[in-house]
Amino acid sequence: MTAIGFIGLGVMGGPMAANLVKAGFEVTGYNRSPAKVRRLVEAGGRGAESAAAAAEGADVVITMLPDSPDVEAVLLGDGGDGVLDRLAPGTIVVDMSTIRPDVARSLAEAGASRGVRVLDAPVSGGEQGAVDATLSIMVGGEASTFESARPVLDALGRTVVHVGPPGAGQTVKAANQLIVGGTLQLVAEALVFLDAHGVDRSRAVEVLAGGLAGSAVLDRKAPAMLERDFKPGFRVDLHHKDLGIVTAAAREAGVAIPLGALAATLMASLRAQGHGDLDHGALLLQVEQLSGRSPGE
């Protein structure tokens, strides 16, 4: 497999597509924003004027889109004019977006009915992980299809694991977002708590990171939160969407997630205050507001 069609060249998709070019794959990309297509071309890839054109002749088609309806619109289209209908039998589609597990399963079924092999392979690691090709990739689908797509996935991530049948990748990603959202909220609370007691927060984070409280969330997010740098690596809007997936899937399975439900509410509140375009580390702003504190107070 050498020819890859890449649909969705945003914050995550752009660097992922560029890394595939670096790995020696022939990559043709499409994005609604022409500027992002140009960046791929500058990195050595090819540009396409539509999703269908990007997928034409590809051995593997990758989608990296914001939400379930976006993926369905591209792959299924309206009235049977989606990308799936244009692919040769045996083509592999890897959806690396974060979408609902039930949608992932329905897309796998739609692909199978057309002779197309579909994997759901959402990622974790944020923008920096996409740039560095160190993403954690959780893959649902047929084991044989996973093995066929493995060379492509290995060019994008450091931890690539087949976690089960169609939809399993999205279920694991939902669990990932549950943990990240809850942990991020607690990091925000801890930083405000430390500041209220006049503790040097940078030193506190250093020692916390070396103990049981240490985590990738603390390592990657606390420095920017301390600097009050909320340039989006992962936007509040997207995490709000992901926590909605978690709460819906938990309700469907009859599973109680009391802390997760609270984290979802707090993320929704932050978004409702107009902070949807900020990095999810902006949960710090809300804890400050709830505590009646200003920065450095």
CA distances from 29 to 4, 103, 265 (A): 8, 24, 36
What does the pLDDT look like over 205-218, one tens digit per residue?
999 999 999 999 99
The enclosing domain of 215 has a CATH number of 1.10.1040.10
Are 20 and 1 in contact by the 8 Å Cβ rule? The answer is: no
The enclosing domain of 98 has a CATH number of 3.40.50.720
Establish if 77 belongs to a structural domain.
yes
What does the pLDDT look like over 141-198, one tens digit per residue?
999 999 999 999 999 999 999 999 999 999 999 999 999 999 999 999 999 999 999 9
Q: How far apart are CA 245 and CA 242, in angstroms?
A: 5
Residues 139 and 196 in one domain: no
165, 198, 227 — which closes off a domain?
165
Residues 25 and 144 in one domain: yes
Q: How far apart are CA 285 and CA 224, in angstroms?
A: 13
What is the DSSP code string of 26-75?
EEEEE-SSHHHHHHHHHTT-EE-SSHHHHHTT-SEEEE--SSHHHHHHHH
What total number of domains does the chain contain?
Answer: 2
Residues 98 and 234 in one domain: no
Looking at residue 1, what is its pLDDT? 59
Residues 159 and 192 in one domain: no
> Residue 78: pLDDT above 90?
no
Q: Report the chain's mean pLDDT, rounded to a whole number.
A: 96
165, 185, 211 — which closes off a domain?
165
Q: Which residues are catalytic?
A: 173
Residues 137 and 200 in one domain: no
Establish if 208 belongs to a structural domain.
yes
Q: CB 138: neighbour CB atoms within 10 A?
A: 25
**Residue 2's pLDDT band (boundaries 50, 70, 90)?**
confident
List the domain range (segments joined by +) for residue 286. 171-290
Q: Which residue would you say has higher pLDDT here, 121 or 128?
A: 121
Establish if 296 belongs to a structural domain.
no
Residues 37 and 154 in one domain: yes
**Residue 9's pLDDT band (boundaries 50, 70, 90)?**
very high
What does the pLDDT look like over 209-256, one tens digit per residue?
999 999 999 999 999 999 999 999 899 999 999 999 999 999 999 999
Establish if 137 belongs to a structural domain.
yes
**Residue 50's pLDDT band (boundaries 50, 70, 90)?**
very high
What does the pLDDT look like over 260-280, one tens digit per residue?
999 999 999 999 999 999 999
> Residue 104: pLDDT above 70?
yes
Establish if 295 belongs to a structural domain.
no
**Looking at residues 50-55, what average pLDDT do you find?**
96
Establish if 297 belongs to a structural domain.
no
Residues 15 and 129 in one domain: yes
